[in-house]
Structures are given as structure tokens and as C-alpha cells.
Structure 1
Amino acid sequence: MDNIQLLYVGNIVSGKAAASSQILQFFMRVANLGYGKTVEVHWAGEDGVRRTVLADYCITAGDGSEYWRAELRFQCQAKADLPGDIRFSLRLQHEGREYWDNNDGCQGYFCAAGSGGRTTGLVPVLNLSPLQGLSASQRSIPLKLAVDAGLAAEKVTVHWTLDDWHHVHKTSCRLQSGRRSATRSGYAGLHPVQHWSTNLKLDGAFRVQYSICCEGKEQTFWDNNAGQNYRLSRAPLKVMILNLHCYQEDDQDRKFWQIAKAVDELGADLVCLQEVAEHWNDGRGDWASNSANIINRRLKQPFHLYSDWSHLGFDKYREGVAILSRYPFERQEARYVSDSSDAYSIHSRKVVAASIDVPYIGTIDVFSAHLSWWEDGFRDQFQRLSEWADGRRGAEVAATLLCGDFNIAAGSLGYGLVVDGHRYEDQYLAANAPALFQQIFRVDDAHWRDRLADDYRIDYVFMNKDSGLRATSARVVFTEQDYGRVSDHCGYLLEFEPL
């Protein structure tokens, strides 16, 4: 394909002379040359004045090319003040080079005022309302399709699914405008179109896939996005974990600001913090100095916060754990999982848990934990934690997440205890090394420890293997290159979607 190609132009005029309006629409296909592209429409109306409008990225097609769109709206008191007939060309700029679509040297394209839509025939069916994803409040998908009149379509149907094609819905489209015949328009390089539309009812679904079937007397044409189908989904659940290092950082206040900035910019939904500290104050604590509370107050929109403490830390702080959630807590609970509950013992370890109803995903049970080293009681602490978590599981729980600092290196005896339990699985590994994850947690390869020799993580998100979620991505944050160091630990950000 050429690096930039016109697919569709619309020139719609409506209203009377007293209050007229005109809409210009341009859809184009652009080669994925890399980031930093500029896509423009160079056009002129009946006044002959050359103008430029920037196009916006819409979606990436199944074959890797991109769809871009530009739209202009005019509202005038008289039709004479509208652009009227237009002539135009397209330009793509990338890394100092430029590419044009000027109708094969015909000095651009022409589209008459009020002529409706025209297509170049390169894409027989074009979605004029493309979406990159589903918004949190969206309950339906309006589809407006431009179908090349050359197909002589008599029926257009959208085939769609909410559960990966286990159940298939079929919704008929309505013909809005355009003749059912394949008559040519007479404009060089442009063909008439039919406009069809429909609305897909999503209700509470997390994702949708669809393809389009156009049926005519002589042929049936399928648009399935180059074999990939069209796919839209809600935003994933984003979970962040971080050990805060109990007020031991230089330039601590700035680092709290950095953490809050990352939570906002990365769009985290749940944040599990360890070594959360506040002034000891003779054991009474001091909420104003609580590090989780300070970070939360610095978010653009403060989260729901649940925090509790375990023991005296560094001889001057109440040290504990916390959960911050974008969504309200339905149930919250704190327990010691250690043998000791002595506030003056560093081996006293308390975990906080919360049930959270995440829209379009369901109820998530999340635990923020800071367990002891293997030699200091990890085995018993993890056993108590997992039994507690399992005891909270019910049919309404979509997933159980054990998050935080577990003080066991990947491949160690403690990690092996988790593997051998066959209940909880390492989600960072699942997202970044799925083949190795399968070997360790599903196949139980006897030599799996050798593969983790260079993996020094001690912070994890372990998910119950019967959960209805899957980790789709996982990244390290709070490194020198990514928001800067804020602790003696890195943080982790994981994204989850329903199965």
C-alpha cells in the first residue's frame, strides 16, 4: 500500500439559508512508519483559500496499518459563508520525509457540497465511528458504516460476541442513505456509498469483538479486520505494589510526591504499600505523618485507604501495610499472620485485606502483606495468609491477589513453597515469561529453579489459580529511568483483564 491513502470523504450540508451548517469528514489509511507522524488534509473551499487541518489517529487495523480521521464543522447564517465544494490532498510527514495522496497527480480530489459521502474503493466497508476502547460508562457501541455502492449491498449484519465467540449475536444494520445500485458518481477517483448504521448493546460486558457481513445479489463481503476481528475492551485493572522503606529515604517528601505522581499518571486502581510508617507517639501513632495517608492526599483524586500497623519500626515508627483503592471497600480486615503479635517485635507481621467491587470485572479480594524472611517464619506466615485468603473466597469473588513484599527470592525455598502449594501463582512471571510460567506453575519442571537464577525479585503479586483474571502486562517502576528511585525496593505495576 502507499504510505497514505484516502478512504472516504464526506461533504454534508444541512439547514436552511437562515442557519446552515456543513460537515467535512476525511478518513485515510496510513502506513505504520513509527511514532512522531504528522498527518494533514490540505484543502480549499469555493473561496480558493488553501487551508490545513491535522488528522487524528483512530485505530490500528489487523494488517498493521493505521486509520486516521479529520473532521471540520461550520455553522453559518448563510450558505454563501460555508466552504461549499472542496478540493483537497493528504500529506504524511515522518522523520523529515513527506508523502502525498493527491489522487494520482490529478491535482487532488474534488467533492461537491452536499454530495454526502464518497469512497475511493480501497476499503469496501469503513467504520465511520471507530473507537480505541470502551469508556467506563459506555453501555453500547454506535456503528455508522460507509459501504461502497459497488457492492450493491442489500443487507448488512454485524456478528459480535461478548465472550470470545462462545455465544454469537447478530444485529442488522439500517440503510440510512445511498442507493442500492452500483452507479458511479462521476467524480474522478471517488465512488458513491451507502451509509448503514446500528447500535450494539453491551450492558456490563468488559469486551466485545465483531465483524461485518455485507450481502448483495451477486456476492457476500466480510470485513473482519484482516482476520483479527474488531476488538474493544474496558480499561484493565491496574495494580501497583511498593515497599516504602519506612521513612528511611533521603529527600523523603519529594519521593512521596513522586509516588503520587506515578499513581496518577500510570492510572493505578489498586496500590498495595508495605513499610508504611507513622510517628510512634508512645504507641498511639500519628495519622498526619502516616506515609500512605500523605501519598493519598497528594493524588489528584484521593483513593479509599485502609492501613494498619504491626510493630515498632526503627525505634520510632508504627510500621505496617496499606491498600489504596480507586473503588470503595466492601469489606476490610486486618490480622497477624505471624506467631508473634508483640508490638515490640520485628517478627510480628500483620496483613490487611479488602474486598473491592471493580466495575466490569467483579469483586476482587486483595491483601497487602510484608512477610518475614524464610528463616524468620515465612513458611508459617504464608500458610496462614493463604488459608485466610482461601477462607474468604466465594462464588462472588472474581480473583484473590496476595500483594507485597514476601522476602523470598524467585527460585528460593520460600518461592518453591508457593509453587508446591499449587494455589497461588506469580503474575509478573505470567505476564513477562509465559512459557517459563507454564513450566513452573503448570508443568512443574524439576529444573525450573535454574531458570530463575538471575531473578532477584522479593516483591510479588500472587493470584489464586482459580481466579477469573489474567495478567496482560507487568512492568518495573521507580527505577532510575522510570519515576526515579523512591525506596530501597522497586515497585511493580501489573494489568489484569477477565478471562
Structure 2
Amino acid sequence: MAVLRVCTLNLHGKQENDDIRFSRIADLLSELEPDLCALQEVVVDGERTTAGRLAELLEERTGEEYYPYFVETHLFYEKYPEGVAVLSRHPFRSTWAADLNDIPIPPLLPRKAAIVEVDVEGNSLIFASVHLDHHENPLVRKFQAEKLLEALDKLSPKDAAVLLAGDFNDTEDSPVVGLLQERGFVDAYRVINDDPGFTFPAEGPKMRIDYVFVKDLEVLSVKRILMDKGLSDHFGVYLEFEVKR
């Protein structure tokens, strides 16, 4: 089958230079032509979201239609509604919002995951945009991942390949990464690269907390993208893959 391309990026909420930085993000993403993109810290911007705004900019640059799916998760410290989103060049077969909040240790902010199913050349593909909590206790994120996996077990077709992408707010040696690996997910960046691959903070990165985890996929290449501190406080991650079918 054809090579597919996905990416993830934390959009860093609302900033004063949004017009400039969103235009630049769209310029750079349009060169990569992602099939699917996971977005975090997406905010409601007037009558649309910043995910919808980015979809429009990508359409202008690529001539391809991009479908946005947004899930509101919380009011960001009483300032504005914020959430996670997926952009897709493929029409959605199904969409779901997975609640990650009913866990033993309450998160600092309510969290959900945006999950979509798309059909790619007859193959069912499940893609989730994830932004786990920033609680100091790493077990919060492990509990949230357990909730996400429970939702995927109920929602995903048995033959679907699965990708989890986003800001996991934790490092490679964390309980949440260990759990995902135990459940058969592969850290796509680590399949290809042995460098630290730090993604945060963009101004002097010191840790890798942005990931794409895959199951039943052949990873072809992975790299960091949008490595400009003026675009976000995170670097993005870009993956090319084939479905193992």
C-alpha cells in the first residue's frame, strides 16, 4: 500500500502572534502533506477552532481537503475552551471522544482523547490525539492511558491498525510509556532513532514528551519537525509508515 504520513504538534494554546505562527505552521506542514495530524492545546477561536483554522490554511496551500475533529476537554484556567483535535485528508468513518477523567488520582485539568477511524485503501486505521495531564504524579498519566486503552478495546474494529499521537507529558522511562509498550504499542521514534529526540521546551529542549505510538504498522521514518521556538513551546513529530497487512 502507499506510504502514509502522520504528525503531532502541541499548538501552545492562544498566543499574540497567532496569525504569523499559524501561517508558518501551515507552510511547513503543507510541504509534508500529512494524511493525519494530532493537535493538542487547540482552542476555540471565535466561531471555529484553531484546528479548523489550520485545516483551512492547509487546504489553501495543498489544494487537498482536510477534515477537522475537535474534542473540548476543559476551560483553560478560566480563559478559553481548550481541547485536542485530529486533522485528516481522509473522511472520517467514525469519531469518538474518550473520557480520561474517572481515575483514582484526579487530573489537574479534565482530559479527553479525540479518536477517529478512517479507511485507507480498504484498511481500517484508528488514530487518537492525546494530551495527558501534567500532574506531578506519573501514575495519573498511566491511569489515563488505561482508560484510553479500554475505550479503544471497545471502539476499535478487530482488524484496525492503531496510532496514538500527542503530548504525553512524560519521558521514556515513565509508567505510561511502559504500559503502552506492555500492551503492544511501539514508540515509533525509537524504532528509527537512537538520539535523545528532545521535544520540549522548544527554547532549549531537555526532554522528549511528544510521541507517536503504533501497533501493527511498519515504521519507515520518523523525525522531529517545526523546530522553531516561535511556532510552539513543543517540537512536532512526523512519521511515515505502512500498514502490516
Correspondence for 1:320: 83
Correspondence for 1:358: 120
Correspondence for 2:93: 330
1:394 to partner: Cα distance? 3.0
State the percentage of identical aligned residues. Answer: 34
Amino acid aligned to 1:470: E
Which of 211, 224, 241 aligns to 1:476? It is 224
More strand by share: 1
More helix by share: 2
What are the Cα deviations for residues 234-275 of structure 1, in whole angstroms up to 9, with x where unaligned?
A: 3x110010001111x341211111121122111111011000
Q: Which has the higher contact order (CA 8 A, sep 6+)?
A: 2
Residue 411 (1) aligns with residue 173 (2): yes
Which of 14, 27, 44 aligns to 1:278? It is 44
User: For 1:14-25, what aligned pairs fall within 5 Å after superposition?
Assistant: none
Q: Is the 8 A contact 2:37 2:88 kept in 1?
A: yes
User: For 1:100-499, what aligned pairs fall within 5 Å after superposition?
Assistant: 206=1, 234=2, 236-247=3-14, 249-278=15-44, 286-288=46-48, 290-299=49-58, 300=60, 301-339=64-102, 346-359=108-121, 362-373=123-134, 375=137, 377-397=140-160, 399-419=161-181, 421-433=182-194, 456-464=207-215, 467=216, 469-480=217-228, 485-499=230-244
1:363 to partner: Cα distance? 1.2
Q: Is the 8 A contact 1:410 1:456 kept in 2?
A: no
Q: Secondary structure at the match of 1:394?
A: coil
Take 2:232 and 2:166, find their aligned partners in 1: how far apart are those partners?
14
Amino acid aligned to 1:287: E
Take 2:237 and 2:95, find their aligned partners in 1: how far apart are those partners?
23
Q: Is the 8 A contact 2:145 2:176 kept in 1?
A: no
Q: CA RMSD in A?
A: 2.4
Q: Secondary structure at the match of 2:85?
A: strand
Q: Is the 8 A contact 1:312 1:318 kept in 2?
A: yes
Correspondence for 1:112: none
Take 1:363 and 1:494, find their aligned partners in 2: how far apart are those partners?
18
Structure 1: gaps of 5 or more residues = 1-205, 207-233, 280-285, 435-453
Amino acid aligned to 1:294: R
TM-score of the pair, normalised by structure 2: 0.84
Take 2:243 and 2:185, find their aligned partners in 1: how far apart are those partners?
17
Amino acid aligned to 2:8: I
Q: How many residues get paired?
A: 227
Take 1:496 and 1:250, find their aligned partners in 2: how far apart are those partners?
36
Amino acid aligned to 1:474: V
Amino acid aligned to 1:410: E
Q: Is the 8 A contact 2:42 2:85 kept in 1?
A: yes
1:346 to partner: Cα distance? 4.5
Greater C-alpha radius of gyration: 1
